[in-house]
Structure formats: C-alpha cells, structure tokens
Amino acid sequence: MLAALPLLLIPVALYNIVVLFNGSDVGMAQADAILSDPLFTVTMASGAQWSVGVGDLILFVALVILFFELLKSTASHRAAIVNHALSMILFVVCLIEFLLLRGFATSTFFLILIMVLLDVLAGFIVTIVASRRDMDFRS
C-alpha cells in the first residue's frame, strides 16, 4: 500500500515544513525570503555567482520526483488507481493551501502545484489510453 502514496507528497511536505515552522504568521514576502535565502553559492566558470536557496532545492527534488511519478503512472495495477486518487487529493490540498494560506502564495509553491496537477493529469490520461488499448472495438 506504500507504493500507492504519491511521491510528490515529499516536496509538498518539505515546503510545508519550511514555511509553517518558520513562524506562526508567515506572509508571502517572508516565505519568499525564507525560500530564496542562499544555502550555498557556486562560482561558475564565467565568474558569476550562482546562489542556491531552499526553494530551489525543493523544486529540484520535485522535478526529479515528478519524473518517477510519471513512470509510476504507466503501471496498471490496483495500487496505480489508488495512487491516482491520492494524487488528486494532494492536488486539492495544494490548491487550497495556495489560495487560502498566506505563506503559500509564492512562485515556488505554484510550480509545485503545477507539478502535482501534471501528475494527476498524466495518471488519468495514461490510464484512459491503456484501457482504450485493452478494449477491442472490432465488429
């Protein structure tokens, strides 16, 4: 049953931990500051400084996990159906957080929200295409 859990729950949980545990009333500006505060800086060959913040790392993790979620969506066993339903619930929760909680109205969380939406759409589309291929409509 653990295989049915949507992996994109990880970056959503990371975002929640970073934003909600950094103050009781974190607004959008404070959340942006927390997420963009550089963790480390890399000097590029051009001499430019590339600063990587918490939000950047969360987005990187979310992109990698989205790849594995899309691979998982091609499975046709029962756990995949439960995964699609849980992904839809995760999308609804993320949408509610984005619309109603002040610290979640950031570009970082919006991109995570879009990744969760893509996971939901890909899961349902792959399931529909696979089921249409399995059905034989010859007369």
3-state secondary structure 17-75: HHHHCCCCCCCHHHHHHHHHCEEEEEECCCCCEEEEEHHHHHHHHHHHHHHHHHHHCCC
Position 4 scores a pLDDT of 81
Q: How many domains does the chain have?
A: 1
Is 67 within the bounds of a domain?
yes
The percent of residues in the chain predicted with pLDDT above 70, rounded, is: 89
Instruction: Give residue 41's domain range.
Output: 7-134
Render pLDDT for 107-139 as a digit per residue (tens, 0 to 9).
999 999 999 999 999 988 887 777 666 565 555
Report if pTM > 0.75: yes
Beta bridge partners of 42: 50
Is 68 within the bounds of a domain?
yes
Is 139 within the bounds of a domain?
no
Is 19 within the bounds of a domain?
yes
Is 1 within the bounds of a domain?
no
- CA dist 98 and 72 (Å) reads 26
Render pLDDT for 13-62 as a digit per residue (tens, 0 to 9).
999 999 888 765 667 778 888 888 999 999 999 999 999 999 999 999 99
